[in-house]
Amino acid sequence: MRRERNERARRAAGIALAVALTATAAGCGSAAQTPVSETWDDLFGTVVTVSLYDKMSEKEAGAVLAAIRARGEVIQNTMTAHSPGSEIGAVRAAGGQTPVPVSEDTYGLLTLALEVAALSGGAFDPTVEPLVALWGIGTETAAVPAEADIARARALVDYRRVTLDGAGRTAYLPETGMGLDLGGIAKGYAADEANRLLDEADVAHAILDFGGNVVLRGGHPEGKPWRVGIRKPVLGEDGYACVVSLRDGAVVTSGGYERYFVAADGAVYHHIMDPATGRPAETGLLSATIVCDNSTRADALSTACFVLGLDGALALLDALDGVEGVLIASDRTIHTTPGLADVFAVADERYVWVNAP
């Protein structure tokens, strides 16, 4: 099944890897049939929308939606750093003391997270939790920390120090104060899992949007690809900078505009940390979008690319097969990887596609 999907997406990649950012699959034709759609605003601290475009009974659709929602809740509860009953939280609490047995879900996702951490040289790092907690961005206590506190937290961030033991399926952090944060990858995983449930339910056409982690399925029932808008990442600008058209695949964006606070002096601090500096990543990129067949990987890679900045992101993407990207810099220039050339379009003339074919 997975192989089949990979093949499909790979074929699509040449022609049409599609990206939707935050919900709107723009303009799919006026005669378009209305999807059965549900939106939840209480999962992963974001808005989740599932839209099913197959002809199906209300009962069938209801069952599929309920299964997706239930799966999402399980993923959220086991993998959110600070939710009660969180396995990630339990691993943190036992840091410096003892390995903690975790579910297959958590173990698998940690394994993937560490892989992307290694690939990106630690730009994506699931042990970023002490920095996330210190800055508190997105919470009411967000504030610019003292340098000494930043240095202390930064010293606790290092994915190479995580020990995963497959035999006992345990995770271990060797030092008290170390922690795990899967916020940069868990939504992508939830979207992949939702897509797997759609496989099982034989749903052919659907759009899943887990807070900007979009999974496209089967193209529009009328035969057209889905069109996914990538949001303008400049603070204060609404709407889409560009669009990707694609039938199947994941389109995931990380941007500094999603969650941030403005300090007394007007400086903006967003929620994506650069583990190398201990501060919000400032590389000149305003957003990084990944297009590939796996939303989990795309989620982690989009965060990694945002932290790496334009040159680092292009180098990383160049080294990966079947992974494409759209990088938007603060001067409103857009850089795409070669595989997107035929499926990409600019949607606002103020944005300049610098490597347009």
End-to-end CA distance of the chain: 34
> What six digits make up the tokens of 87?
């396995």
Could you say which residues in the range 216-255 bind Mg ion, by CB under 5 A? Answer: 254
Q: Which does 211 bind (CB under 5 to 8 A by kind): Mg ion, ligand ADP, none?
A: ligand ADP
Of residues 73, 180, 58, 59, the one with CA closest to residue 125: 180
Q: How far, CA to CA in Å, does 21 sit from each of 188, 255, 335?
A: 13, 11, 17
Q: Does residue 158 belong to the site contacting ligand ADP (CB under 6 A)?
A: no
Residues 258, 291, 335, 336: which binds ligand ADP (CB under 6 A)? 258
108: tokens are 């698998």
Letters for 125-154 (x = contact with ligand ADP by CB under 6 A, - = none) are xx-x---x----------------------
Judged by CB under 6 A, the residue of 130, 184, 225, 256 near ligand ADP is 184
Find the binder of Mg ion among 193, 209, 299, 324 (CB under 5 A). 299
Contact between 289 and ligand ADP by CB under 6 A: the answer reads no
**Residues near ligand ADP (CB under 6 A), total:** 20
Residue nearest to Mg ion (CB): 303
Return the SS3 of 351.
coil
Three-state DSSP state, 170: strand
Instruction: Specify the pairing of strand 324-329 against strand 240-246.
Output: unpaired
- Residue selected from 106, 303, 336, 337 as contacting Mg ion according to rule CB under 5 A: 303
Name the residue nearer to ligand ADP (CB basis): 179 or 219: 179
Q: Is the CB of residue 127 less than 8 Å from the CB of residue 178?
A: yes
3-state secondary structure of 38: strand
275 binds ligand ADP (CB under 6 A): yes
Site string for ligand ADP, 45-84 (x = CB under 6 A): ----------------------------------------
Do 64 and 198 meet the contact criterion of CB atoms below 8 Å apart? Answer: yes
Q: Tell which one of 72, 179, 184, 325 touches Mg ion (CB under 5 A).
A: 184
CB of 349 to ligand ADP, least distance (A): 27
Q: Which is nearer to Mg ion, 35 or 183 (by Cβ)? A: 183
CB nearer to Mg ion: give 51 or 254. 254
Residues from 253 through 292 that contact Mg ion (CB under 5 A):
254
In angstroms, the CA 52 to CA 73 distance is 20
Residue among 95, 183, 229, 278 that touches ligand ADP (CB under 6 A): 183
Q: Which two tokens stand for residue 269?
A: 């601090």
The per-residue DSSP string of 219-283 comes to --TTSPPEEEEEEP-STT--SEEEEEEESSEEEEEEETTSSEEE-TTS-EEES-EETTTTEE--S
* Shortest separation between residue 85's beta carbon and ligand ADP, angstroms: 18
Sheet-wide strand order for 240-246:
226-231, 240-246, 344-346
Chain residue at closest Cβ approach to ligand ADP:
183
User: How many whole angstroms separate alpha carbon 93 and alpha carbon 112?
Assistant: 22
Query: What's the closest the beta carbon of residue 181 comes to ligand ADP, in angstroms?
Result: 5
Residues that bind Mg ion (CB under 5 A): 184, 254, 299, 302-303
Residues that bind ligand ADP (CB under 6 A): 124-126, 128, 132, 181, 183-184, 211-212, 254, 258-259, 271-273, 275, 299, 303, 307
